[in-house]
């Protein structure tokens, strides 16, 4: 009834190629932005801003990066967290050694991570599938090893930890939880829009062709070499920026263990549950993996469910595991697909056939 495209005609190519062809979607997107930029700062308290929303956005950004590589281009990676580590350490070094402005810093962190990603993407030209996954696992171990072994990367710290300096963007002192949330949100929104459009561009179509069948793509004239490497670079760029945000806007002081292998797996879980090859899925998946366990443990407290504390601690894991299985059974293509289905149903509502 409300959600349908009848009466909306694209009268120019530019209009036809819009990110959201439907008026309703554009309104919804605008409303979402207003909600995130205006309403949330008004209603959210410190707890939400500092421990949930910022973290959720950072993981979403990193998941978008992994989704570009795995979801768009079909290259499995088990070392995504390591590229976050590269970004975090790079941004720290730029900030402390060269005193570059914060935003430039994040950008440079992304480029350094992209360069490292390029290096570890090279094997993808020869191997694929599970074999490539193992090769990217090497990225995880190598990068962790390098960062632990040479404490030059941690500014010569005897403790191997990095401490991010205070941030200031053209007079805006980014110190409160709200400031950090807004900074993270701005970076994430810009990069998410870029990713969305990248996916719709020629590059994105080439990636998809490679994902679906690389031999066919090659026959059609898509050169695998540059496109696969580009996917690795863009993906690592996103991870790098996410890592920099994680260090600067979320933790403040950290060791390389914050980016351990388990984080790589969690990121992979996010895109699988959220939906491979979609930007929306990256957000939904990050929400699922980051927010749901907290929600479950809060619910246990809120409902005053009492019992042996070690049982309650484990109950959270059991419920969470059960929900993952449930969602994958109900919708193997991820939460984004569920949203797609809802939209299709909405078009027919209230007269489904």
Interacting residues with other proteins (CB under 8 A)? 46-47, 50-52, 55, 96, 145, 148-149, 151, 155-161, 163-166, 250-258, 290, 293-294, 297-298, 300-301, 304-319, 322-323, 326, 329-330, 352
**CA dist 308 → 197, 242, 321 (Å):** 51, 38, 20
CB of 99 to other proteins, least distance (A): 11
Number of Cβ within a 10 Å radius of residue 227 = 19
Least distance between other proteins and beta carbon 171 (Å): 16
Burial degree of 32 (CB within 10 A; 0-12, 13-18, 19+): exposed
CB of 145: closest distance to other proteins in angstroms? Answer: 7
Closest listed residue to residue 238, CA positions, set 260, 271, 216, 209: 271
Q: Alpha-carbon distance 170 to 282, whole Å?
A: 31
Task: Report the largest interatomic distance among the alpha carbons of the chain, rounded to a whole angstrom.
Answer: 68
Given a contact cutoff of 8 angstroms between Cβ atoms, the answer to whether 26 and 33 are in contact is no
Give the nearest distance from C-beta 82 to other proteins in angstroms: 14
In the complex, minimum distance from the CB of residue 224 to other proteins, in angstroms, rounded to a whole number: 34
Q: Which is nearer to other proteins, 227 or 246 (CB)?
A: 246
CA dist list (Å): 253 to 69, 244, 256: 29, 12, 10
Specify the residue, 182 or 234, whose C-beta has the smaller distance to other proteins.
182
Nearer to other proteins, 204 or 275 (CB): 275
Q: Please say which residue, 1 or 219, places its beta carbon nearer to other proteins.
A: 1
304 sits in the region (left: phi over 0; alpha: psi -120 to 50; else beta) called: left
Smallest distance, other proteins to C-beta of residue 349, A = 12
147: Cβ contacts below 8 Å, ≥ 6 apart: 85, 89, 153, 154, 256
Alpha-carbon distance of 177 to 51, in angstroms, equals: 9
**For residues 164 and 206, which CB has a smaller minimum distance to other proteins in the complex?**
164
* Pick 158 or 219: Cβ nearer other proteins: 158
């Amino acid at each position: 009834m409300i959600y349908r495209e009848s009466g909306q005609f694209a009268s120019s190519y530019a209009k036809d190629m819009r990110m959201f062809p439907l008026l309703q979607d554009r309104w919804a997107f605008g409303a979402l932005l207003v909600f995130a930029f205006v309403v949330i700062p008004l209603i959210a308290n410190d707890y939400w801003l500092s421990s949930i929303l910022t973290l959720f956005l950072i993981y979403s950004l990193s998941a978008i990066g992994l989704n570009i590589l795995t979801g768009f281009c079909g290259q499995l990676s088990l070392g995504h967290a390591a590229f976050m580590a590269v970004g975090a350490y790079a941004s720290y070094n730029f900030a402390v050694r060269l005193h570059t402005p914060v935003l430039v810093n994040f950008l440079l962190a992304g480029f350094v991570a992209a360069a490292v990603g390029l290096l570890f993407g090279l094997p993808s030209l020869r191997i694929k599938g599970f074999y490539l996954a193992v090769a990217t696992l090497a990225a995880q171990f190598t990068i962790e090893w390098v960062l632990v072994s040479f404490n030059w990367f941690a500014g010569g710290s005897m403790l191997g930890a990095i401490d991010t300096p205070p941030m200031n963007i053209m007079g805006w002192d980014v110190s409160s939880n709200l400031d950090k949330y807004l900074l993270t949100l701005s970076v994430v929104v810009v990069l998410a829009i870029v990713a969305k459009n990248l996916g719709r561009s020629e590059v994105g179509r080439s990636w998809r062709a490679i994902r679906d069948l690389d031999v066919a793509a090659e026959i059609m004239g898509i050169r695998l070499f540059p496109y696969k490497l580009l996917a690795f670079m863009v993906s690592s760029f996103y991870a790098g920026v996410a890592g920099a945000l994680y260090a600067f806007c979320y933790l403040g002081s950290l060791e390389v263990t914050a980016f351990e292998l388990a984080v790589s797996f969690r990121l992979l879980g996010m895109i699988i549950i959220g939906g491979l090859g979609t930007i929306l899925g990256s957000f939904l998946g990050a929400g699922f993996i980051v927010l749901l366990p907290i929600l479950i443990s809060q619910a246990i407290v809120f409902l005053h469910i009492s019992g042996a504390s070690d049982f309650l601690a484990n109950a959270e894991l059991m419920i969470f595991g059960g929900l993952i299985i449930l969602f994958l059974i109900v919708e193997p293509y991820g939460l984004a697909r569920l949203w797609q289905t809802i939209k299709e149903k909405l078009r027919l509502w209230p007269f489904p056939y």
